[in-house]
Amino acid sequence: MASGASFWSAEAAGAAGAGVGASAGSGFGAAVGQSGSGRRRGGGRVRPASQQQQQQRNGEAWGGGAPQRVAVGSGAASRAAPAPGWVWSGTTQSSSSVQVQGGLNSEFCGRRSTRLVSKFHHGRQKLYLGKHSPEADMAAQEILLASSARSTSALLDKWSHQLVGLEDFSYLLRELGNRGEWERALQSYEWMVRQEQIRSEWSKLASIMISTLGRLGKVEIAQEVFLRSQKAGFGNNVYAYSALVSAYGRSGRCSEALKVFQSMKKAGCKPNLITYNTIIDACGKGGVDLKKALEIFDEMQREGVEPDRITFNSLIAVCSRGSLWEESQRVFSEMQRRGIEQDIFTYNTLIDAVCKGGQMDLAANIMVSMQHKSITPNVVTYSTMIDGYGKLGRFEEAISLYHQMKDAGIRPDRVSYNTLVDIYAKLGRFEEALSTCKDMERAGLKADVVTYNALIDAYGKQGKHEDAASLFSKMKGEGLVPNVLTYSAIINAYSKGGMHREAKQVFEEFKSLGLKPDVVLYSALVDSYCKCGLVDDAVEMLQEMMQAGIQPNIVTYNSLIDAYGRNNQVLTFLLNAARIAHSDLCRGAHSQGSISPFRV
């Protein structure tokens, strides 16, 4: 990472890098502790640490009132009130078209927000402190049981005299959203913003509605609610902007989230802690690099907004998604240096980042250290570790940890079951793999595409192509849609069985579904032809592959070398391969319809 977007100076980074290589016996605290020094630049992050602070950090590392009741009437006054509500028409506007309508209400540019950024917002104070009334529960149930969302307004008229204040109205929107009933929630919101008696709550209700729609993936509708609330004069506030940033972020649409974030600042509405946490989280979900997330992190501090646990959890998540395991440690070290308490999400995300970096011994140390801080590993912790061991081929350690998890009384989840199935299958222990599938079903988790992919791939590699074909048919019979990995695995299975016609048939089926083949699938098909001595067909498939912009890998070339070798034509292959390399350098790629240089 560049010095402008890091937690350490160039010298400190080098020291930290050296520290990572320290043996487990010396303790990981010494390794991460070295990254704590550095300069604080322009509202930056790190202050030079005293020797005492440094020692303290090393020891911390891996070593061992009732709401006011406001009744809302359903009489003539409320029905005659202005109606800023709307009916969804299916039209949308791009996020870049968000404009400021009217002035800002300073009440809503403070540091509170209705937005719960993500699962990382564990323990965060909610917008309201009161409890909804029993009548709100009954109203929600009646709305849910109604035959049509169109009856929502009439039902709310019926219950209006018993609903009390923001707590009841916000509960209704959230509860309907939790049930996936976004249309009923939207109808409820429209009714609420026609009630003049609760005008002061309209802005907060709008943000809740935007957030609810974002959580359900209805981003365009969320944006429409935002734009209409702006036009009506109650949407120009930190609540609504933060909720819309969140909606885009949840869907991985980071560029649009960033546009809303920028438009918010241009509108004169100062982002608060929740807004900054939301946009950093969006950077991770949208695949934005760590540098951009850290630029936002710098900005929030320059603006006087102090990062909290959620901020650091989100930054570690950005590192995890980018497989930046060393950077994740440095973010964690900075979190410790600032005295910010860690939680289960902190450790799970850190372990995920370290596992993705293949550092399983370090991940195991972190798992031990979290227990020393009275943070008990959960199913996510174990599943992440089991998957990490499995990907490195450390199968026995993965199996042992799976049994430790069960002995601890933690029920495996789909990830841990699928990982175990994959491990047993790769070991050729098919009875145990199938037994795990049965355990999975007994736990109420049906086998999914990932489960079948693991079994089909393993059966194919073991030469059990008939069993692989049977599973392929079974998964389709159960309504599961095969993906690219499935087709690659079954084609590979047919290839090893010398069944090139079946492999070709499956490939044609794959293309008919409009799926895009990758290098693994093409290589499996090339290998299938080569094993059957159909070198010309293999070369045609290679040509199709390259014309599709997919470069062959070592597996593809090995199959062709083997096929040419059996025909005593290795020299021909090498000459033609050199011709391809020269052609790629001169022209960039083969033009469509060109004659393959592999032709003999």
CB 335 within 8 A of CB 7: no
- Residue 556 is assigned to a structural domain of this protein: no
Buried b (16+ CB within 10 A) or exposed e, 241-276: bbbbbbbbbbbebbebbbbbbebbeebebbbbbbbb
- Residue 126 is assigned to a structural domain of this protein: yes
Whole-angstrom Cα distance, residue 58 to residue 333?
Answer: 9
What is the average pLDDT across 498-527? Answer: 80
Of residues 150 and 338, which shows the higher confidence score? 338
pLDDT above 70 covers a percentage of the chain that reads 72
Q: How confident is the model at residue 565 (pLDDT cuts 50, 70, 90)?
A: low
What is the average pLDDT across 52-76? Answer: 43
Confidence (pLDDT) at 396: 93
> Phi-psi bin for 409: left (phi > 0), alpha (psi -120 to 50), beta?
left
Confidence (pLDDT) at 566: 60
* Residues 17-62: tens digit of each pLDDT: 333 333 333 333 333 333 333 333 334 333 334 444 444 443 344 5
Of residues 135 and 77, which shows the higher confidence score? 135
**405, amino acid identity:** M
Query: In a 3-state reduction of DSSP, which class is residue 412?
Result: coil
- Residue 331 is assigned to a structural domain of this protein: no
* Residues 287-335: tens digit of each pLDDT: 777 888 999 999 999 999 999 999 999 999 999 988 899 999 999 999 9
Angle between helices 325-337 and 309-321 (to 10 degrees): 170
- Residue 289 is assigned to a structural domain of this protein: yes
Phi, then psi, of 71 in degrees rounded to 5: -70, 140
- Residue 428 is assigned to a structural domain of this protein: no
Buried b (16+ CB within 10 A) or exposed e, 524-534: bbbbbbbbbeb
pTM of the model: 0.67
Whole-angstrom Cα distance, residue 410 to residue 376?
Answer: 11
**276, amino acid identity:** Y
Work out how many domains the chain is built from and give that number.
1
**340, amino acid identity:** I
Q: Token pair 């590979």 is at which residue?
A: 492
- Residue 509 is assigned to a structural domain of this protein: no
Whole-angstrom Cα distance, residue 343 to residue 370?
Answer: 9
Confidence (pLDDT) at 283: 86
DSSP category for residue 567 = T
Number of H helices, E strands in the chain: 30, 0
Q: Which of 103, 46, 24 is nearest to 367 (CA)?
A: 24
* Residues 95-124: tens digit of each pLDDT: 444 444 333 333 333 333 323 333 333 443
Q: Tally Cβ neighbours within 10 Å of residue 542.
A: 24
Whole-angstrom Cα distance, residue 244 to residue 259?
Answer: 11
* Residues 451-480: tens digit of each pLDDT: 999 989 888 888 888 888 899 999 989 889
Phi, then psi, of 445 in degrees rounded to 5: -115, 110
* Residues 163-197: tens digit of each pLDDT: 877 889 999 999 999 999 999 999 999 999 999 88
Q: Which two tokens stand for residue 566?
A: 């059996």
Q: Residue 151 maps to which CATH number?
A: 1.25.40.10
- Residue 515 is assigned to a structural domain of this protein: no
Residue 6, pLDDT > 90, answer: no
Q: Which domain does 189 fall in, by range?
A: 76-306
- Residue 577 is assigned to a structural domain of this protein: no
Q: Which two tokens stand for residue 94?
A: 């791009």
Query: In a 3-state reduction of DSSP, which class is residue 164?
Result: strand
